[in-house]
Amino acid sequence: MTSSDPILSNLQKVEPSIQNYKTLKHIIQGSAEGFIVDAMAKDSDEIKPYFVKYVDPKKYASKSWPDLRRTIHYTRTEVRFYNEILPLMRKNLPDGSDWEICPKVYLAEYDVSGLMEEEESTEAMSTTADPQYDENNTSALDGKYGVLVMDNAIIANKCFQKAPLRLQFGYKSVEALAKFHAAAFQREEILSMIANRLCRYGGSYHLKNRNPKELQHLVQAWEDFKTCVTPVLKNGELDDEKIQNLGQRLFDAAEYVANELSPSPGDPYATVVHGDYKAMNIMFRGNEDDFDGSKSLDEIPTPLLIDFASTGVGLGMSDLAMHIAQIALPEDLENNDLEEKLVSHYYTCFENALPEDMKSIYSKDEALRHHRLATIDYFRFILGRQWKGVTQEIFAKRNKDTNFAMVNRNIEAAVKFAERTSAYLTEIEAEMKVKCS
């Protein structure tokens, strides 16, 4: 390794005596790379395990400017979360809590100067070309980066990852989510910082953060999905007229739904949202055997969370709706009422995590309404982003990758997601009709 190696140079910022490292696993994602490494110090046999997340914007130069800007914004958001927001949220955890929210972070920094200035709005830009960036000349990307160096939680915190999640795992994952949301719930000072420094509209799938083309081809994407799945359906699940027209209905309701899920920092129910709460962003603590029912949920430590690249202001149910779509097996939704159980457990954990003077502010009826809206919103994202031109072969390929949402891996899960969305949308359409009359 040489000093020009960005992984080594950043490890040395954490511990100057490190002279070498071994990459145990290299994880390539759409907007970042992850490296699980063992670092070795000079004149020492000690091995230090780290996880390094690195973003080299030049590797994503083939993206259009709106998509490249989103990649750059992700790394800026995550670095700022660890440096500026996490310490404030930890102060709001209940007295005596030993939950640290996330693994220990040793280094979080970025340089995206000339691409995205420090005071630039966190709101999504228009799709027009940015005057600072010429897509035909990528030299502006030279030397720009974002980096995180943190504990390898699998070793340091004795964590493990799991996907999909059955009931006991799901209970602990939503417990962590509820505690995360409670630490910033209706705290306008923190939420204003999050809006200004992280993301005004929290969530990787928020309509205002997406490429407008996803919404424009929503109706066609639904036709593509029906063409893909209808041959394998046995019970006419998509025959209902409302489900047949789901693409157009989603298009018509998209702006209303997104606006209902977009509180300002001082609005009722506003909180921090993780923004990408999938199974692989949860680090379970303990042993898998602890989840077999032999231990009570209270005996199992609260999981740690990772990947705050999409964190911003929103409603907590946006995270929960995404999470259920990400983790749930179709048989658990149908036979075990997993959705209802997880929503109920989340609400109980959320109430328990709030200070006494804030309990009962958020009624369960309002929470359930927000969950319905958020489920519709996440379906809109999946449909527009993932299902245009989808085939059975694409589903089969995605099923090999646990980083994909279950509704993107399993046709039966996708169909049940569509059925739930259509039912919830029927209720929201009635609400829209009353408000618009």
Size (the chain), residues: 437
Q: Do the beta carbons of residue 257 and residue 372 sit within 8 Å? A: no
In CATH terms, the fold of domain 158-436 is Aminoglycoside 3'-phosphotransferase; Chain: A, domain 2 (3.90.1200)
d(CA 195, CA 265) in angstroms, rounded, equals: 7
pLDDT of residue 368 exceeding 80: yes
Q: Closest Cα to residue 180, out of 194, 166, 200, 163?
A: 194
pLDDT tens readout for residues 263-278:
999 999 999 999 999 9
Per-residue pLDDT band for 210 (boundaries 50, 70, 90) equals confident
Q: Do the beta carbons of residue 361 and residue 191 sit within 8 Å? A: no
Q: At what angle are helices 218-229 and 246-260 packed, to 10 degrees? A: 130
Q: Within the chain, how many helices (H) and strands (E) appear? A: 17, 10
User: What is the residue-averaged pLDDT of the chain?
Assistant: 93
Per-residue pLDDT band for 3 (boundaries 50, 70, 90) equals low
Strands of 18-28's sheet in order across: 18-28, 33-41, 47-55, 145-151, 105-111
- pLDDT for 118 equals 85
Mean pLDDT over residues 196-225, rounded?
92
110 alpha carbon, distance to own chain's centre = 21
Mean pLDDT over residues 173-186, rounded?
98
pLDDT of residue 123 exceeding 80: no
pLDDT tens readout for residues 291-329:
988 899 999 999 999 999 999 999 999 999 999 999 988
- pLDDT for 254 equals 97
pLDDT of residue 1 exceeding 70: no
pLDDT of residue 81 exceeding 70: yes
Which residues lie closer than 8 Å to 252 by C-beta, 6 or more apart?
none
pLDDT of residue 369 exceeding 60: yes
Per-residue pLDDT band for 2 (boundaries 50, 70, 90) equals very low
Torsion of CA 279, 309, 203, 192, to 10 degrees: 130
> Per-domain residue ranges for the chain?
6-151, 158-436
- pLDDT for 329 equals 87
Per-residue pLDDT band for 126 (boundaries 50, 70, 90) equals very low
Per-residue pLDDT band for 213 (boundaries 50, 70, 90) equals confident
Which residues lie closer than 8 Å to 77 by C-beta, 6 or more apart?
122, 198, 199, 308, 309, 310, 311, 312
pLDDT of residue 64 exceeding 90: no
d(CA 421, CA 433) in angstroms, rounded, equals: 18
- pLDDT for 132 equals 61
Which token pair is 173?
């994952």
Q: Closest Cα to residue 314, out of 429, 421, 212, 181?
A: 181
pLDDT of residue 125 exceeding 90: no
Mean pLDDT over residues 22-40, rounded?
96
Q: Do the beta carbons of residue 286 and residue 301 sit within 8 Å? A: yes
Mean pLDDT over residues 75-86, rounded?
98
Tell me the whole-structure pTM to 2 decimals: 0.94
Q: Do you find a cis peptide bond into 355, omega within 30 degrees of 0?
A: no
pLDDT tens readout for residues 372-412:
999 999 999 999 999 999 999 999 999 988 888 899 999 99
The H or E element containing residue 59 is: none
Mean pLDDT over residues 193-210, rounded?
92
Percentage with pLDDT > 90 across the chain: 79
